[in-house]
Amino acid sequence: MLPPLLYAYISVLRKQQKTIDYAQYGLKSPWLIGLIETFSEAFNLCLLISFFPLLILMVLIMTDDLGGNPIEAFHLHTGIWTLRFLCITLLVTPIQVMTKWRGMAHFRQLFGLMTFFYAAVHVYGYLAIDQAWVWSSIFRDISETTYIWWGLFCFFVLALLALTSSKPAKKAMGKSWKKLHRWIYPASVAAVLHYLLQLKGNLADPLLYGLLITFLLLFRVLVWLKDRKVTRLMIPKRPPVEEEKVPVEETH
């Protein structure tokens, strides 16, 4: 049920993308507009490819090929792909900064929604398959397990970002929209901690994702510092105000 709903929602975003007036972004060259429209067709391709991990998981389930611990394999598969799509979402902004193409924002929406989608499948697997909707067991597990707290924090943030990712929501929220969507940064850190704290053996994979996310967040800090410096240089300095000389009265 979730994939068709997600596809329908992203299709709305895709239609909004077609209404873009390229001239307002200073794009008048026909070949450049043609190149961008080619990239816009890649949006549908990215959408299709984004469902491949789910398709692979379904094939593994149907062929009973999830290994000796299928529940753990399910959690690992959906959790890893949530983290991967989160990294891809964070990667879009550096690409947008380097290419100066605002159309990349639509890809960020797509990958952000796919991040939430796989996170929702991951949470559903925990509630329905692992805990069989036994809420007493679920609450006990949450209260006793630290890494679940980080996972829940990340999931709730992703849910809020997904619900407010449309243009009407952005318009209605105004300046608060940007502030809310910056919560993806602590959510990405929480996702890495969720992955790291539940492992008992090889920690190479979560540390690798942690380094990648650190680099992507550091890139944003450097861009922010650069923009702040440029803005400061562009502000004209006020000339010093000369003090008025008060004439000294001669005394006789």
* Whether pLDDT at 188 is above 70: yes
- Domain extent for 198: 2-232
Separation CA 151–CA 66 (nearest Å): 23
Q: 239 lies in a domain?
A: no
Lowest mean pLDDT among 162-171, 216-225, 241-250: 241-250
> Cβ distance 66 to 73 under 8 Å?
yes
Q: 228 lies in a domain?
A: yes
Q: 110 lies in a domain?
A: yes
pLDDT at 227: 76
In the numeric block, which tokens belong to residue 4?
Answer: 């068709």
Q: 113 lies in a domain?
A: yes
Lowest mean pLDDT among 38-42, 90-94, 167-171: 38-42
* Whether pLDDT at 201 is above 60: yes
> Cβ distance 151 to 130 under 8 Å?
no
pLDDT at 219: 93
* Whether pLDDT at 3 is above 90: no
> Cβ distance 124 to 159 under 8 Å?
no
Q: How many domains does the chain have?
A: 1
In the numeric block, which tokens belong to residue 28?
Answer: 């008048």
pLDDT at 22: 52
* Whether pLDDT at 55 is above 70: yes
Question: Percent of the chain at pLDDT above 90?
Answer: 54
Q: Mind listing the pLDDT tens digit for each residue in 10-24? A: 554 555 445 455 555
> Cβ distance 111 to 8 under 8 Å?
no
pTM of the model: 0.77
pLDDT at 70: 93
Q: Which of 210, 159, 219, 158 is nearest to 189 (CA)?
A: 210
Q: Mind listing the pLDDT tens digit for each residue in 77-132? A: 999 999 999 999 999 999 888 887 777 778 888 899 999 999 999 999 999 999 99
Q: 246 lies in a domain?
A: no
Question: Percent of the chain at pLDDT above 70?
Answer: 74
> Cβ distance 106 to 100 under 8 Å?
no
Q: How many Cα atoms sit within 13 Å of 56 on the Cβ side?
A: 10
pLDDT at 1: 46
Q: Which of 96, 94, 95, 90 is nearest to 111 (CA)?
A: 90
**Burial call 26-48: b when 16+ CB within 10 Å, e when fewer:** ebeeeeeeeebeeebeebeeebe
> Mean pLDDT across the stretch 177-185?
94
Q: 220 lies in a domain?
A: yes
Q: Report CA-CA distances (Å) from 170 to 96, 173, 177, 188, 242.
A: 19, 5, 6, 21, 48
Q: 124 lies in a domain?
A: yes
Residue with tokens 């290419």: 99
Lowest mean pLDDT among 19-33, 155-169, 181-195, 211-225: 19-33
pLDDT at 21: 53
Q: 244 lies in a domain?
A: no
Q: How confident is the model at residue 57 (pLDDT cuts 50, 70, 90)?
A: very high
Mean pLDDT score of the chain? 82
